[in-house]
Amino acid sequence: MKTIKGPAIFLAQFLGDAPPFDTLDHLGAWASSLGYEGVQLPTAPHIVDLEKAAASQTYCDEVKGTLAAHGLAITELSTHLQGQLVAVHPAYDSLFDGFAPEAVRGKPAARTAWAIAQMQLAAQASERLGLTATATFSGALAWPYLYPWPQRPAGLVEEAFAELARRWRPILDKLDAHGVDAAFELHPGEDLHDGVTFERFLESVGNHARANILYDPSHFVLQQLDYLAFIDIYHPRIKAFHVKDAEFRPNGRQGVYGGYSGWVDRAGRFRSLGDGQVDFGAIFSKMAQYDFAGWAVLEWECALKHPEDGAREGAEFIRRHIIRVADRAFDDFAGSGVDRAAVRGLMGLDR
């Protein structure tokens, strides 16, 4: 069995214009001071420039060296925003345009082509950085039709996933050529948001070996999906792990859909580690049982607590939950060393 690596932290929610959140070096010093051993890097140009990283080993070595000076390793590159833009329903065009460079805003086809090219650059960059997965989103074409009212026309969902597969297949092939998995964060707002939709996509891409999962239990709490049984079913495909807490407290006025409320007032809310309802003891046990060899990465998103407090508390929380796996069975001391003949004799065989 393997021991999970960590604690690590996803830096996206902490980026800012002032120290210590303004540069990779400052962020590395800050994360290290809190006790983190790894960082998941957003691919913002001032943090990791994908074009440079894809083309230059020297640049990648400099990025790794900056973090190594603070005792940190890179867990994965985050390509969430690029993955989101691989497939955008027209209803969300203007909202998602802000994630794209100005040159392709208002040009959906050009934006999609840019996003696909970015994902292919991430394959090369990840290999140069010595990484085996990128944390990403799938994008969504069918999401506005999630609830079957009005009745969906026959073939809509099937064609949405077929088109999603057509866009992702060349990316997955490129990732495969560089030894990198796409770890899709199964997330509301994406066409891949639970086990059923992941399976539908997997079938559409011919069970591609590089189509895998970033496991984040918080999204399953908000959907009321069994996040422990999910690990039992999908553990061979889990290649990345966000440690994020959540709570779901429905009442007589509100349930899963939240009534368009802000985060503080929703029945389902993200919380800092230890403040929600997720059973992390059971999760870390299952991850150890199934030999998850990746990183436990804090993603901080909380409706109430200050991010710096959540980050500080999160490092120790993850460290407490990581199980150093056993190198021998607990009852080895009682082993009798009985040979095959003796074993057969115990069962009355060969008489």
* pLDDT tens digit sequence for 89-126: 999 999 999 999 999 999 999 999 999 999 999 999 99
Question: So what's the pLDDT on residue 279?
Answer: 98
> What mean pLDDT do residues 337-349 have?
85
295-298 vs 73-79, strand pairing mode: unpaired
The secondary structure of residue 329, as a DSSP letter, is: -
Length reported for the chain: 351
pLDDT, tens only, 144-186: 999 999 999 999 999 999 999 999 999 999 999 999 999 999 9
Alpha-carbon distance 349 to 104, whole Å?
A: 76
pLDDT in tens, 72-96: 999 999 999 999 999 999 999 999 9
Pick the CATH number of 5-346 from 3.30.160.270, 1.20.58.2030, 3.20.20.150, 3.30.465.10: 3.20.20.150
pLDDT at 327: 79
Pairing of strands 245-248, 295-298: unpaired
pLDDT tens, 234-246?
999 999 999 999 9
Q: Cα 57 to chain center, whole Å?
A: 25
Helix extents (H) in 190-251: 195-204, 217-223, 227-234
pLDDT of residue 351: 76
0.85 exceeded by pTM: yes
What is the spatial distance between Cα 128 and Cα 111, in angstroms, rounded to a whole number? Answer: 26
Q: Where does the pLDDT of residue 212 fall: very low under 50, low under 70, confident under 90, or very high at 90 and above?
A: very high
Beta strands at 268-271 and 245-248: parallel, antiparallel or unpaired? antiparallel
Q: Is 235 in contact with 286 (CB distance < 8 Å)?
A: yes
Domain boundary assignment for the chain: 5-346
2-44 confidence digits (pLDDT tens): 899 999 999 999 999 999 999 999 999 999 999 999 999 999 9
Cis omega (within 30 of 0) for bond into 20 = yes
| pLDDT for residue 334 is more than 70 | no
Q: Using the predicted structure, report yes or no on whether residue 336 has a pLDDT greater than 70.
A: no
d(CA 136, CA 110): 20
